[in-house]
Amino acid sequence: MNSEPDWDLYRSFAAVLREGSLSGAARSLGLTQPSVARHVDALEAAIGTTLFLRTQRGLSPTDAALRLKPHVEALVATSAALLRAAADHAGQVRGTVRISASEVVGVEHLPPILAELRRRHPALGIELVLSNSIDDLLGRQADIAIRMVEPVQQALVTRKVGAVEVGLHARRDYLDRCGVPETMEALAGYDLIGFDAETPAIRAMAGRYPMLRRRLFALCADSDLAQLAAIRAGFGIGFCQVQVARRSPELVRVLEHDCAIELGLWIVMHEDLRASASCRAAFDALAAGLGAIARG
């Protein structure tokens, strides 16, 4: 435990964590199994900790290895971001841009925007990371993120492109069958579709509409796509963006005047990427496309 380990050891360590075995890691890295084994040994010697328990069925990480896991994953993500940036030659729009968005935005809003972006820049590859829970810019897992909360960090380039309105919706035949709720309190008698996890947006919503307690929900799903699908399937009443619901003629908004949540829509990018022509092009395309959606 003296000098800094070679960074290559980290890469092998990450591969072993990811693949679960020396052989698998070697395959994924294009190395041979003994090489990866020596890397792991060297890293363990360097930091003075056992990282894996060797079994005949693979290597199982120790607690110490699990503690280090987020860090090497950050290294992996950062080196990937570096390679993306390196592919961005001299102001040309080419290479690959990674975009992070919530599932429903990625599925409902982005496809036409990205198609248009691709048509204008045929050499630009696009990677889409859909997740509702992860802060993708923190670990450089994405170059550009679409957010529903205002970013406060200075190291980020942000642009507010408008707002989306979230309201309660249900399928028409469900309302025909069960009736249309007239008050928020009456919702307790319906099949409500709601969230499971805690995110800032959900906490804010729960604060505004205390009658929507979690145990009232007939179906809890973290995935907003699953919620949307449940609404479309006629399961019951749930939240969804009015811009999305408007496209489905069978969906009807309920309690429009009692329950309306306006969520801002921000596009966020690392300040470092401002010089990248590819990221700027994607950023501007997202701003234009999402702005048009927000305006209706």
134 contact choice in a second copy, DNA, none (CB below 5 to 8 Å, kind-dependent): a second copy
Q: Which region, judged by CB under 8 A, interacts with a second copy, from 15-23, 66-74, 216-224, 233-241?
A: 66-74
Confirm or reject binding of residue 81 to a second copy (CB under 8 A): yes
Confirm or reject binding of residue 67 to a second copy (CB under 8 A): yes
- The closest alpha carbon to 174, from 156, 160, 193, 155, belongs to 193
In sequence order, which ranges of 179-266 are alpha helices (DSSP H)?
A: 200-208, 224-232, 242-245
Q: Which region, judged by CB under 8 A, interacts with a second copy, from 84-92, 112-120, 160-168, 248-256?
A: 84-92
Confirm or reject binding of residue 75 to a second copy (CB under 8 A): yes
Q: Which of 39, 98, 270, 280 binds a second copy (CB under 8 A)?
A: 270
Q: Let me know: does 251 contact 171? Beta carbons within 8 Å.
A: yes
Structure tokens at 62: 């120790």
Q: Let me know: does 239 contact 169? Beta carbons within 8 Å.
A: yes
Structure tokens at 188: 């307790």
7 contact choice in DNA, a second copy, none (CB below 5 to 8 Å, kind-dependent): a second copy
Q: Find the shortest distance in angstroms from Cβ 49 to DNA.
A: 16
Does an H or E element contain 170, and which?
strand 156-171
Q: Which of 23, 28, 35, 79 binds a second copy (CB under 8 A)?
A: 79
Q: Find the shortest distance in angstroms from Cβ 104 to a second copy.
A: 17
Q: Directed axis angle between helix 33-47 and helix 22-29, to 10°?
A: 110
CB atoms within 10 A of CB 1: 8
Which of the residues 126 through 145 are near a second copy (CB under 8 A)?
133-135, 137-140
Q: Find the shortest distance in angstroms from Cβ 199 to a second copy.
A: 6
* Burial degree of 74 (CB within 10 A; 0-12, 13-18, 19+): middle
- CA gyration radius, the chain: 23
In DSSP terms, 162 is beta-bridged to 265
Q: Find the shortest distance in angstroms from Cβ 196 to DNA.
A: 32
In sequence order, which ranges of 87-123 are alpha helices (DSSP H)?
A: 103-104, 110-120
125 contact choice in a second copy, DNA, none (CB below 5 to 8 Å, kind-dependent): none
Q: Which residues of 6-25 are buried (b: 16+ CB within 10 A; e: fewer)?
A: eeebbbbbbbbbebbbbbbb
Q: Which of 31, 42, 64, 157 binds a second copy (CB under 8 A)?
A: 64
Q: Which of 150, 176, 256, 284 binds a second copy (CB under 8 A)?
A: 150
DSSP string, 191-222: -EEE--S--HHHHHHHHH-TT--GGGEEEE-S
Q: Which of 55, 56, 57, 90 binds a second copy (CB under 8 A)?
A: 90
Q: Find the shortest distance in angstroms from Cβ 41 to a second copy.
A: 15
Residues that bind DNA (CB under 7 A): 8, 21-24, 26, 30-35, 37-39, 42, 54-59
Binding residues vs a second copy (CB under 8 A): 1, 3-4, 6-8, 10-11, 30, 47, 49, 63-64, 67-68, 70-72, 74-75, 78-79, 81-83, 85-90, 133-135, 137-140, 149-156, 199-200, 270, 272, 275-276
